[in-house]
Structure 1
């Protein structure tokens, strides 16, 4: 009953949109442009072997490497900026400025630099996911109130104690908020990189189907990419709930 109350409205809306899509696509009868959801599902089943055994693992590997690097360097830079004002003034404007550059315009350059290897796609993924992780973690580290810090100092706490016992727990929820944004963006980053230049992957497969005017073939990997994004978001949300059991949520 709780699950129905929580997801009933969104499930009903999803079903309604699928019905509208199915009906509209059948009325237009232009499958090479707008296939029906049924056609897409049948295409996924028809191409299940190359999609799930060849292209999905290639895309998933890009996502995992890109996210891992973003977490490693993003959290590290956020911590560095929080403890050093010079570093903050140096890097923070650059981090903000990096988001004004259209990543899709840089993707071909990375292909020229790294070729059709996995690293051209990983760099695109890192550039997209680095920002939310870094900024959210940095904001979380700065969100600690001065009163709490003063209280710990009066109790004899060192800077190390304040960082690990106050700032790190306080910034955990900020970090997970940034990570939930990053995991969904990582799917987009991997797909963009594969679309520009790759030899395998769901983005590459979608582009290949487009050259064959196969509408259902174009949509099939897109649906799988969406499912991957939802799957990763659910994993991060579950990890957040288990890690932050002390936090009271509605």
Structure 2
């Protein structure tokens, strides 16, 4: 049942996408929309096919920045959440500071990272990490706290050390929330990578979009956006695949298998 349901969902998504592409293509042709305003999808796809090495090179750089930034955000976010749950002082100070920092538009911080870290890959990775870390911290913190007090009392009655309670009781219970934050975080990390490439890029898909805008090359910009959409989708479902592999016992995974 699960296989056929997923196959049906994939088929539905493909049909919807195909209809949208056909409507897009026909609208451009019927209304005579000029390519520099809205290129037809066939032209956009042709640009990708005609320059595979170029798009592969730019995509690899963006994926590299996104992956490193996401990894830093994941490790830092999980450790920060553990510290927040373990210490009331850190909860009152760092957690509040994190919420306040998140309210600042990250685009406004991007030029500062360029000043501090230069124009290489470091500022882009930093921007990706700082954008991705917030949902990871929030979701992990909620997961670590959302546990039955009876389980905590049972562990303490067995004289389990505080660290063992955290890592063997709280953390396994929080894994679904960690993955929920990670799936949001990977999308945010990709956004952060593009923002960094906009501000101080010399390569990457964000830089391609920026230079295409400067030369009114809408076809190249749409091609880069299409590749970004594909990459973001792949990275999201990679996180989801790891979640299914690590959490086959969770109710969300069992309910999917039972459909």
Interval containing the TM-score (normalised by the shorter chain): over 0.9
Residue number among 55, 79, 82 corresponding to 1:79 in the alignment: 82
Whole-Å Cα distance in 2 between the matches of residues 89 and 181 of structure 1? Answer: 25
Residue of structure 2 in register with 1:92 after alignment: 95
Q: For 2:138 and 2:231, how far apart are their aligned partners in 1?
A: 24
Cα displacement (A) at 1:25: 2.2
TM-score normalised according to structure 2 size: 0.91
Partner SS state of residue 181, structure 2? helix
Aligned to 1:168: 171
Which whole-Å CA distance do the structure 2 matches of 1:111 and 1:159 have between them? 41
Q: Distance in 2 between matches of 1:28 and 1:96?
A: 48
Give 1:33 shift.
Answer: 1.6
- Alignment equivalent of 1:106, drawn from 105, 109, 116: 109
CA shift, 1:237, in A, is: 0.4
Distance 2:197 2:50 in 1: 22
| Deviation digits for residues 77-116 of structure 1 (CA, Å, limit 9, x no counterpart) | 1111110000110011111112211111222222233232
The aligned residue for residue 133 of structure 1 is 136
CA–CA separation in structure 1 for the residues paired with 2:129 and 2:60: 18
Match of 1:245 among 226, 235, 248: 248
Secondary structure, aligned partner of 1:30: coil
Structure 1: gaps of 5 or more residues: none
Q: What is the distance in 1 between the residues matched to 2:161 and 2:189?
A: 38
Q: Which moved more, 1:93-102 or 1:76-85?
A: 93-102
Question: Which residue of 2 is the match for residue 42 of structure 1?
Answer: 46
Distance 1:104 1:28, change over 3 A: farther
User: Aligned partners of 1:104 and 1:28: how far apart in 2?
Assistant: 36
Structure 2 match to 1:51: 55
Measured in 1, the distance between the counterparts of 2:110 and 2:189 equals 14
1:222 to 225, 229, 232: 225
Question: Counterpart of 2:21?
Answer: 18
Q: Does 1:195 align with 2:198?
A: yes
Deviation (angstroms), 1:156: 4.1
> Which of 146, 152, 156 is 1:153 aligned to?
156
- Offset of 1:75 from its aligned partner? 1.0
Shift of 1:8: 3.3
Say which is worse superposed, 21-30 or 133-142, in terms of deviation.
21-30
Shift of 1:151: 2.6
Equivalent residues, number: 249
